[in-house]
Each structure stands twice: as C-alpha cells, then as structure tokens.
C-alpha cells in the first residue's frame, strides 16, 4: 500500500475534547465512563461527551442539527482541524480532497425522537423532522463536506463497529487510483436508544464500567466519539505519523458473533502487516478492538497471539472511552498516533485480574517507551475485520 | 482516470429478471413487462439464515451470485463494495416503533440485522468468503459513489471487485426518499485487467462540476422512470450501453460534483 501521511487529526470522546485532553486522560488513567442516564436507559455505564445538548451548529449548517452532527462539529473545531483542512484546500484545491467517513447509526436519535411525536391520527412524523440531513446514512458525509467547504467525492462507510477504521482503507483506494489527492477520514457515532437498547437486548451491556481483558469482564459500555484525520500522499517534509498499512477480511461466519478461532482477525492483521511491508516484530504495541465481552476479547487474544506471539504489548482503551461503535476506529487511530508521538502504552483500565487463559501480551499499567509502529484493530457486526498500521516512515 | 473491465452482471428490477432475460428490453427491442421485481430466495443461505434474511438481502444476494456466475469466478474470490441508500428499512422501522415505547425490549435478531452492512455480512456467510467488504451510502448519488470506489479498489488492490447495489423504498412513516415505489438491485464484476470474456471497459473520473439526472438518464423512458425512483437503478444507463455494446459517456450527479463514466465495448 502507498503510505499516507496524517497531516492533521482531531478527536472528541468521553476522554475529552481534543488530542491534549485525550492524552491527559490516558496518562492519568482517568476513565470517561459514568452511570448511564440517556434516552430512558439507566442500566450500565456510558462514555458520554459533555456539552452536546448546549452546542449549536453554525447557522448555515442548521438543517443538519442532531446529536451526531453536533459531536462531529465539536471534532471539526477541536485541534485546529478545520483550519488545517482550509490550508490543504488552498494548496490542493477543494475538488481534490475526498470525504470518507464512517458511522453505524448516523443521526438515528433524531428519528427516535420524531417517532415519539407521531401524529395520533395519521401516524406521520413531525413536519420539522429532516430525515435527509440527520438519520440518512449519507448525512454525515454531507455535513463534513459542507462544513469544510470541500468539493471532492464524498461517501459514508457503514460497516458497523469497523466503519471509521475501514474508511481509512476506502480513502487509500481513492487516493491510489487518483480520484483524489487527499481525504478527510474518520467518523462519528453518538448515544441513541437503538444502540443502548439493542446491546441490552443482546445481553452484552456490563452493569459496571467495561473492563476489557479482565477475568470477570461482563460486557461493554457504550460510548460516543467523533474524530477526523487529513490523509495525504506521503511527502518528503512530513515529520509526523503515517498510515503504513491497512488489512481487512470478512468472517463469513455469523452476523453478530466473532469466529472463535479468530481467523478473520488474524487475516486482517497479517493483511495490514503485508500492506505495510513490515514483519510482526516491527509492531511495538497493538491497540485491541477489546470490547469487553467474553467472546470478543477471547477470540482477539487468540488471534493476536497467533500473529505476534506473547511478547508484543497490547491493550484495549475502551475502559476509558466505552465502545464508541463506528467511531472507535478513528478514536483508536488517534490514540495510536498519541502513543507513537509521546512514546507510551496505555495499559488496560479497570482490570482487577487479567484473564488467565489469555496468552497475548496484555498490559494493565501505563508504560513509557519509544514505539516504532502501532497496530489498531476494529471488528464489527457482519463479520467485518479491519487492522491499521501506523508509524514513522522509514 | 481509472479504468476497469466488466466481466459479469446481475440484475433484478421490475420486468427485468436477470441480465440475459433483460437484454431485449435494455437494447430497446421489446417493451419492459409491467411486473413487480422478483425477489428470489437464495439457495446459498442456510435455512436458518434464509429465515432471517429480509427482502433486500435476498435481492442483493441474487444479483451478486448471478454476476459472479456470469463472470465464471468463484463466489469467495472477489472483494466487495456494497452500495445502498436506504439499507433495510423494514428492519429499521420495526426497531424505531419498538424504541418509541419506553420499556419494550428490542429483538436481538432485528438489532443485528439493522446494521447497514447486514446484507454484506449475509453475502460473506453465503459465499463462504473471507474477502473484505465495504458498505457505502450516498443517498441519490449512491451508484456514482460506489462505482468510483469499486473501480478505485480494483485498481489499487489489483483484484476483482463485486459492486453490488440494492435499494427498496423506506416504509411509512419514514420518508419515501430517495427510493420511491421501485425495488431494484444490480451487480457488476469489475476487473483491473481486461478479461477474455469482457462486457465493456469503463473509465471513471470525478470532477467538481454539477450534473443533473438528465446527464445520466437511461435512453428508454420506461427505464428512466425506474432510475428516477431508485438510486440502484441509476445503473440502468450503464446497463443499456453494455447491452447495446455501444460507446457511451454520461455523468452521474454527486452533490455539486459528478462522476463521469465512459463506456467502450471490448470488441
């Protein structure tokens, strides 16, 4: 794969607004999870972003108003991201920058609210409900493209919890074929009744804060996040982090359960290594998908051990953020760049006792050490597996 | 400019039951029958998956399988790009109705079938495929966006790519946007190198110049009416040109830009 430079990035999650706040939460081992009180759900914990109810979109974007786009708007405004894209827009031209963003549920919360205000006689939704700019799956790509003043190709990628990870690979294809020179990649997923009550129906919500890799782990905590990166063809002057490889597979096994043998995850990780032309021992840290369910973490441990053996440090950061659905790919990609830039590994949060059946190198304490390359995993319903490799270009 | 070659086609629409049976209509040799879209039951799925599979899943799997058979490629040998504006509206509606009542539990099966990539997941299970899938939404521009992406992927990965498009109208009270009345699915096998059995070559480019529906409308008014009412049926102009083995150039609108497609016969 052609390496792609990350020339700018931004992130908002329960860890905080922007990269500095995110880094501080990781360093201080301060979780963003708190008891859930959202959309009538009071079970479990959530990684909620503060201030969304108060945040107003700029007037020209008012038609897009919904929780998901407020969250995306906060991300575009954090870390000087919109300004960096404006600079790239001048340099490359607005037509040469694509928007490739991932979401699982888009602005469905707006639709849920509309369903609570149906006309009692006709069943019609309120006339004020704007499906196209909120719930429709393309709404996020439209919003980001409009907000950033871009005129390149735009698409929403929706492959469940792997959405914003897979967006990196889709953007890489567009850049490789010459359809664009750069891409704004990333995504947004926000709290909604669908996700909270859907995972409750699957009996996958932990009553307490999620603790991936713990012997007594008992499910996920739902979170919300939005983040974006500007990806450009690798150039000489770039001193920052580069996307070196991406790999993806399908399980072809079950819609919502992972393959117990981890074959799909193994294929995605090996595919990403091959695309980066790196051996397994060049990876110094693996940021796991690590959702905190019994089956997911066990299958991923098996897969990571197959690829890396027991020696490579790995951890899940979902004990901080919760599982942010389709946005976990870009959230954890941003965490990977922070780990590389600042030379540290965030050990799993909230682990009392590590699952003794695990054989991979799961860490449970933060560690300072220089890192050459970091792999980030994201897996999703439908049996989608995606792995990304980040590092400094050789 | 990105070039790919078409090696197989699948199709299900009103009065358009498969590529071979539709050739007469697509070439303008006979009128389209006023029939509803046939929804085949895919033999590929195991009985328990078949029970769970909704209308759009059955439709998408049928055209994907047809296209791969047409291209004489094993089902598990291609990467996939799925494009759908609406996904499975029936499933989403049932969940939204349940969510409107505070204490009713959601159906776990409906919940996992509600993801936009459920159809692609059932495809990879049915095909026994470990090849990657991506699932795109682009509202009324879904065909142009997914075509640009699929051609790019074939070129970047040097692999055959299945492009599978499907859409059905959302059920009320959800808005009948952008698919209205028409149920439609089409699949194309795109190769980076010219195959022996080649149905046409495509050159696909993006430009920031606006286009309108008329710039990509099928020639036949009856087919144009389908394209106007279903994002997947925007592929009918391409299907016409491939059926007629004609050189063609048209522009698919994508927001304030366009995806330009140049078709040339392989003869």
Q: Tell me whether residues B173 and A252 touch, CB distance under 8 A.
A: no
Q: Does B77 touch chain A (CB under 8 A)?
A: no
Residue ranges of E strands in B72-183 = 79-83, 133-137, 161-167
Q: Nearest Cα to A196, choosing from A376, A81, A367, A39?
A: A39
What is the residue-wise DSSP string for A223-283? E-EEEEEEEEE--TT--S-EEEEEEEEE--S-SSS--TT-HHHHHHHHHHHHHHT--GGG-
DSSP B76: G
Q: What are the residue ranges spanned by the domains of chain A?
A: 4-391
Residue ranges of E strands in chain A = 4-13, 16-17, 34-35, 45-47, 97-102, 154-157, 182-189, 222-223, 225-233, 242-250, 285-287, 313-315, 344-345, 361-362, 367-368, 373-380, 384-391
**Top-level CATH class of B6-197?**
alpha beta
- Contact in structure between B124 and B57 (CB atoms under 8 Å): no
Q: What are the residue ranges spanned by the domains of chain B?
A: 6-197
Q: Tell me whether residues B255 and A142 touch, CB distance under 8 A.
A: yes
- Contact in structure between A96 and A182 (CB atoms under 8 Å): yes
Q: Does A330 touch chain B (CB under 8 A)?
A: no
Per the DSSP assignment, residues forming a β-bridge with A237 are none
Cα B117 to Cα B120: distance, rounded to the nearest angstrom? 5
pLDDT score recorded for residue A256: 85
The answer, yes or no, to whether residue B267 has pLDDT greater than 80, is no
pLDDT score recorded for residue A236: 84
Of A112, A169, A255, the CB nearest to B113: A255
Residues 6+ apart with CB under 8 A from A88: A7, A97, A182, A230, A232
Q: Tell me which residues of chain A, numbers 99 to 138, contact chain B at a CB-CB cutoff of 8 Å.
A: 104, 111-112, 115-116, 118, 123-125, 131-132, 136-138
Cα A185 to Cα A310: distance, rounded to the nearest angstrom? 32
- Contact in structure between B213 and B224 (CB atoms under 8 Å): no
Chain A residues within an 8 Å CB radius of B155 = 173, 176-177
Q: Tell me which residues of chain A, numbers 28 to 47, contact chain B at a CB-CB cutoff of 8 Å.
A: 40
pLDDT score recorded for residue B41: 85
Residues 6+ apart with CB under 8 A from A368: A343, A344
Q: Does A59 touch chain B (CB under 8 A)?
A: no
Cα B60 to Cα B74: distance, rounded to the nearest angstrom? 17
Of A137, A201, A255, the CB nearest to B106: A201
The answer, yes or no, to whether residue B1 has pLDDT greater than 90, is no
User: A181 φ, ψ to 5°?
Assistant: -105, -20
Q: Does B130 touch chain A (CB under 8 A)?
A: yes
- Contact in structure between B88 and B140 (CB atoms under 8 Å): no
The answer, yes or no, to whether residue B80 has pLDDT greater than 80, is yes
Q: Nearest Cα to A211, choosing from A349, A303, A24?
A: A349
Q: Does A326 touch chain B (CB under 8 A)?
A: no
Could you list the active site residues of A?
A: 161, 289, 323
Angle at Cα A20 formed by Cα A15 and Cα A26, nearest 5°? 45
Give, to the nearest 10 degrees, the angle between helix A163-177 and helix A328-342: 80
Q: How far is B220 from chain A (nearest CA, A)?
A: 28
Chain B residues within an 8 Å CB radius of A253 = 125
**pLDDT in 10s for each residue of chain A, 394 residues:** 889 999 999 999 999 999 999 999 999 999 999 999 999 999 999 999 999 999 999 999 999 999 999 999 999 999 999 999 999 999 999 999 999 999 999 999 999 999 999 999 999 999 999 999 999 999 999 999 999 999 999 999 999 999 999 999 999 999 999 999 999 999 999 999 999 999 999 999 999 999 999 999 999 999 999 999 999 998 888 989 999 999 999 999 988 888 888 999 999 999 999 999 999 999 999 999 999 999 999 999 999 999 999 989 999 999 999 999 999 999 999 999 999 999 999 999 999 999 999 999 999 999 999 999 999 999 999 999 999 999 998 7
Q: Nearest Cα to A374, choosing from A301, A318, A312, A325?
A: A312
Q: Tell me which residues of chain B, numbers 51 to 70, contact chain A at a CB-CB cutoff of 8 Å.
A: 52
Please tell me whether the peptide bond between A46 and the residue prior to it is cis, using omega within 30 degrees of 0: no
Q: Nearest Cα to A249, choosing from B98, B198, B134, B254?
A: B134
Note the pLDDT tens digit of each residue in B102-115.
889 999 999 999 99
Task: Tell me whether strands A313-315 and A45-47 are parallel, antiparallel or unpaired.
Answer: unpaired
Q: Tell me whether residues A138 and B117 touch, CB distance under 8 A.
A: no
Beta carbon pairs, A and B, within 8 Å? 214
Q: Tell me whether residues B125 and A255 touch, CB distance under 8 A.
A: yes
Q: Nearest Cα to A190, choosing from A135, A145, A118?
A: A135
Of A158, A197, A264, the CB nearest to B116: A158
- Contact in structure between A100 and A174 (CB atoms under 8 Å): yes
Q: Does B164 touch chain A (CB under 8 A)?
A: no
How many other β-carbons are positioned within 10 Å of the β-carbon of residue A98?
Answer: 28
Q: How far is A367 from chain B (nearest CA, A)?
A: 34
Task: Tell me whether strands A313-315 and A242-250 are parallel, antiparallel or unpaired.
Answer: unpaired
Q: Rounded to 5, what percent of chain B is helix, strand, coil?
A: 40, 25, 40
H or E stretch at B201: strand B200-207
Q: Is B102 helix (H, G, I), strand (E, B) or coil?
A: coil
User: B232 φ, ψ to 5°?
Assistant: -70, -30
Cα B13 to Cα B15: distance, rounded to the nearest angstrom? 6
The answer, yes or no, to whether residue B131 has pLDDT greater than 80, is yes
Q: What percent of chain B has pLDDT over 90?
A: 91
Q: Nearest Cα to A13, choosing from A337, A286, A320, A314?
A: A320
H or E stretch at B132: none
Give, to the nearest 10 degrees, the angle between helix A139-147 and helix A67-77: 30
Burial of B228 (0-12, 13-18, 19+ CB in 10 A): middle
Q: Does A251 touch chain B (CB under 8 A)?
A: yes
Chain B residues within an 8 Å CB radius of A141 = 138
Q: Does B150 touch chain A (CB under 8 A)?
A: no
Q: Tell me whether residues A200 and B106 touch, CB distance under 8 A.
A: yes
Cα A143 to Cα A146: distance, rounded to the nearest angstrom? 5
Chain A residues within an 8 Å CB radius of B146 = 155
Q: Is A93 helix (H, G, I), strand (E, B) or coil?
A: coil
**Which chain B residue has its CA at the smallest distance from A193's CA?**
B99
pLDDT score recorded for residue B29: 97
Per the DSSP assignment, residues forming a β-bridge with A154 are A99
Q: Tell me whether residues A137 and B116 touch, CB distance under 8 A.
A: yes
- A79 dihedral zone (left: phi>0; alpha: psi -120 to 50; beta): left
Of A198, A263, A381, the CB nearest to B121: A381
Q: Nearest Cα to A247, choosing from A328, A168, A325, A337?
A: A168
Q: How far is CA A343 from the centre of its chain?
A: 21
CA end-to-end distance (rounded Å), chain B: 21
**Which chain B residue has its CA at the smallest distance from A271's CA?**
B132
The residue of A179, A243, A271, A296 whose CB has the most chain B CBs within 10 angstroms, and thus the best one to mutate to test that interface, is A179
Provide the b/e sequence for B106-143 (b: ≥16 CB within 10 Å). Answer: bbbebbbbbbbbbbbbbbbbbbebbbbbbbbbbbbbbb
Q: Tell me whether residues A382 and B124 touch, CB distance under 8 A.
A: yes
Cα A73 to Cα A140: distance, rounded to the nearest angstrom? 10
Chain A residues within an 8 Å CB radius of B96 = 111-112, 115, 194
Note the pLDDT tens digit of each residue in B238-266.
999 999 999 999 999 999 999 999 999 98
User: A329 φ, ψ to 5°?
Assistant: -60, -50
Chain B residues within an 8 Å CB radius of A200 = 105-106
Q: How far is A254 from chain B (nearest CA, A)?
A: 7
Q: How far is A155 from chain B (nearest CA, A)?
A: 6
Structure tokens at A204: 């996958």
Cα A68 to Cα A327: distance, rounded to the nearest angstrom? 11
Cα A18 to Cα A8: distance, rounded to the nearest angstrom? 12
Q: Tell me whether residues A380 and B128 touch, CB distance under 8 A.
A: no
Cα R_g (chain B), whole angstroms:
18
Q: Tell me whether residues A155 and B137 touch, CB distance under 8 A.
A: yes
Q: What percent of chain B has pLDDT over 70?
A: 99
Chain B residues within an 8 Å CB radius of A164 = none
Cα B199 to Cα B202: distance, rounded to the nearest angstrom? 10
H or E stretch at A18: none
The residue of B78, B98, B128, B206 whose CB has the most chain A CBs within 10 angstroms, and thus the best one to mutate to test that interface, is B206
Task: Tell me the CATH architecture of domain A4-391.
Answer: 3-Layer(aba) Sandwich (3.40)
Q: Tell me whether residues A252 and B256 touch, CB distance under 8 A.
A: no
Q: Tell me whether residues A170 and B95 touch, CB distance under 8 A.
A: no
């Amino acid at each position: 794969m052609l390496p792609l430079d990350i020339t700018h990035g931004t992130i908002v999650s329960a860890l905080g607004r922007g990269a500095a706040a995110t880094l501080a939460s990781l360093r201080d081992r301060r979780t963003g999870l708190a008891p859930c009180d959202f959309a009538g759900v009071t079970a479990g914990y959530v990684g909620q972003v503060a201030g969304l109810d108060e945040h107003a979109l700029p007037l020209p974007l008012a038609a897009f108003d919904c929780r998901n786009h407020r969250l995306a708007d906060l991300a575009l405004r954090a870390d000087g991201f919109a300004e960096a894209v404006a600079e790239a827009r001048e340099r490359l031209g607005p037509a040469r920058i694509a928007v490739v963003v991932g979401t699982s549920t888009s602005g469905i919360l707006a639709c849920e609210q509309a369903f609570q205000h149906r006309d009692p006689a006709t069943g019609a939704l309120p006339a004020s409900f704007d499906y196209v700019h909120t719930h429709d799956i393309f709404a996020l790509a439209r919003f980001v493209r409009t907000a950033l003043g871009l005129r390149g190709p735009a698409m929403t990628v929706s492959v469940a919890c792997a959405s914003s990870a897979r967006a990196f690979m889709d953007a890489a294809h567009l850049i490789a074929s010459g359809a664009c020179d750069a891409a704004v990649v990333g995504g947004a997923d926000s709290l909604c009744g669908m996700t909270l009550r859907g995972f409750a129906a699957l009996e996958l919500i932990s009553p307490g804060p999620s603790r991936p890799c713990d012997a007594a782990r008992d499910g996920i905590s739902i979170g919300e996040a939005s983040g974006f990166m500007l990806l450009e063809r690798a150039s000489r002057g770039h001193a920052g982090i580069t996307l070196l490889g991406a790999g993806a597979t399908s399980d072809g096994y079950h819609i919502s359960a992972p393959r117990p043998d981890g074959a799909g995850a193994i294929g995605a990780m090996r595919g990403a290594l091959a695309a980066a032309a790196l051996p397994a021992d060049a990876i110094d840290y693996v940021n796991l998908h690590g959702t905190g369910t019994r089956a997911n973490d066990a299958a991923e441990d098996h897969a990571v051990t197959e690829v890396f053996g027991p020696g490579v440090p790995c951890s899940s950061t979902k004990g901080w953020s919760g599982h942010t659905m389709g946005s976990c790919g870009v959230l954890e990609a941003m965490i990977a760049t922070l780990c590389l830039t600042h030379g540290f590994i965030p050990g799993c949060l909230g682990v009392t006792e590590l699952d003794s059946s695990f054989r991979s190198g799961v860490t449970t304490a933060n560690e300072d050490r220089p890192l050459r390359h970091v792999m980030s995993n994201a897996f999703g319903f439908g049996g989608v597996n995606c792995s990304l490799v980040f590092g400094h270009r050789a | 400019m990105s070039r790919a070659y078409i090696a197989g086609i699948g199709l299900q629409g009103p009065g358009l039951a498969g590529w071979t049976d539709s050739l007469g209509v697509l070439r303008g040799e006979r009128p389209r029958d006023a029939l509803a879209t046939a929804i085949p039951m895919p033999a590929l799925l195991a009985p328990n998956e078949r029970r769970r599979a909704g209308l759009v899943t059955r439709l998408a799997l049928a055209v994907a399988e047809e296209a791969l058979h047409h291209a004489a490629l094993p089902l598990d040998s291609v990467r996939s790009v799925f494009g759908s504006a609406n996904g499975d509206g029936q499933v989403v509606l049932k969940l939204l109705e349940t969510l409107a009542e505070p204490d009713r539990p959601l159906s776990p099966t409906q919940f996992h079938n509600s993801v936009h990539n459920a159809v692609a997941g059932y495809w990879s299970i049915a095909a026994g495929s470990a090849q990657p899938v991506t699932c795109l939404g682009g509202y009324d521009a879904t065909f142009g966006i997914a075509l640009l992406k699929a051609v790019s992927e074939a070129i970047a990965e040097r692999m055959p790519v299945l492009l599978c498009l499907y859409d059905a109208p959302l059920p009320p009270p959800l808005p009948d946007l952008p698919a209205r009345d028409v149920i439609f699915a089409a699949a194309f096998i795109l190769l980076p190198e010219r195959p022996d059995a080649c149905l046409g070559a495509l050159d696909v480019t993006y430009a920031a110049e606006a286009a309108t529906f008329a710039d990509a409308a099928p020639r036949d008014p009856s087919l144009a009416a389908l394209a106007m009412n279903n994002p997947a049926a925007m592929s009918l102009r391409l299907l016409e040109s491939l059926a007629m083995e004609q050189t063609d150039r048209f522009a698919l609108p994508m927001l304030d830009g366009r995806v330009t497609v140049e078709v040339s016969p392989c003869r």
